[in-house]
Structure 1
């Protein structure tokens, strides 16, 4: 993402998002741009959502993959084992599904 932000000449800063106890940390980016551009960048890098600050208020803004949602896989659980079934094995869809499951597991466990 850093190379892309430099390429489009958009001001940014690298930041680290973390749980209150620092048990989970994730590199993030603070980017100076309008909300539509932020959502477009989020979509380009397969983000589920972006944080948006406006008038000293923080918002969590969903980043839809496309205007219409459609399933591309499923999840099955049996005896504590989760199996992911992907219908469309394209790189971005697999990456998105992996990211969603990774976050879900971190929240549950």
Structure 2
């Protein structure tokens, strides 16, 4: 099992982000998804239901948020996600509630990958968020 999580951890570090409008790096924000808890593949309808539950939870923060898509570099894999202007502790709690291995956090324009459950994994600084960003006119079907 550890091997599978390590493989996912490597894949998470390659993620690109699709947005329909730019986000300012002047503010810190989290990137969280509800899709595929603990890396298990759910059906599209199950993922949509989890996404709606996450959006309801995000609304309780009363903070700005935006939809985005986390994707493999070749776009072969995509998950709907949310950029939420909350602090890192709130983001980790949200990731845990929705059973995610990790969340992303952007602070001063730097993108980091942070494990939700494995405290042995160090936070990985992945570089400037802007280098992982692709502006699109519309989101692909996820």
Residue 19 of structure 1 corresponds to which residue in structure 2? Answer: 72
Query: Residues 53-89 of structure 1: CA distance to partner in whole angstroms, max 9, x if unpaired?
Result: 1122111001017x7xxxxxxxxxxxxxxxxxxxxxx
Distance 1:53 1:5 in 2: 17
Q: CA deviation at 1:51?
A: 0.5
1:10 aligns with 2:71: no
Q: Alignment length, in residue pairs?
A: 66
Query: Residues 84-103 of structure 1: CA distance to partner in whole angstroms, max 9, x if unpaired?
Result: xxxxxxxxxxxxxxxxxxxx
Map 1:83-102 → 2, pairs under 5 A: none
Query: Residues 15-53 of structure 1: CA distance to partner in whole angstroms, max 9, x if unpaired?
Result: 111111111111111110111111111111111111011
Structure exhibiting the larger radius of gyration computed from Cα positions: 1
Distance 1:8 1:59 in 2: 22
SS in 2 for 1:41: helix
Distance 2:108 2:78 in 1: 27
Q: Which runs of 4 or more aligned residues in structure 1 lie more than 2 Å from their structure 2 counterparts after TM superposition? A: none
* Structure 2 segments unaligned to the other structure (5+ residues): 1-53, 120-142
Q: CA deviation at 1:10?
A: 2.5
Structure number having the greater strand percentage: 1
Residue 51 of structure 1 corresponds to which residue in structure 2? Answer: 104
Map 1:63-102 → 2, pairs under 5 A: 63-64=116-117
Out of 113, 124, 134, the residue aligned to residue 60 of structure 1 is 113
Give the CA RMSD over aligned residues. 1.6
Give the TM-score of the pair, scaled to structure 2. 0.43
Structure with the larger RCO, 1 or 2 (CA within 8 Å, 6+ apart): 2
Give the TM-score of the pair, scaled to structure 1. 0.55
Q: CA deviation at 1:7?
A: 2.7
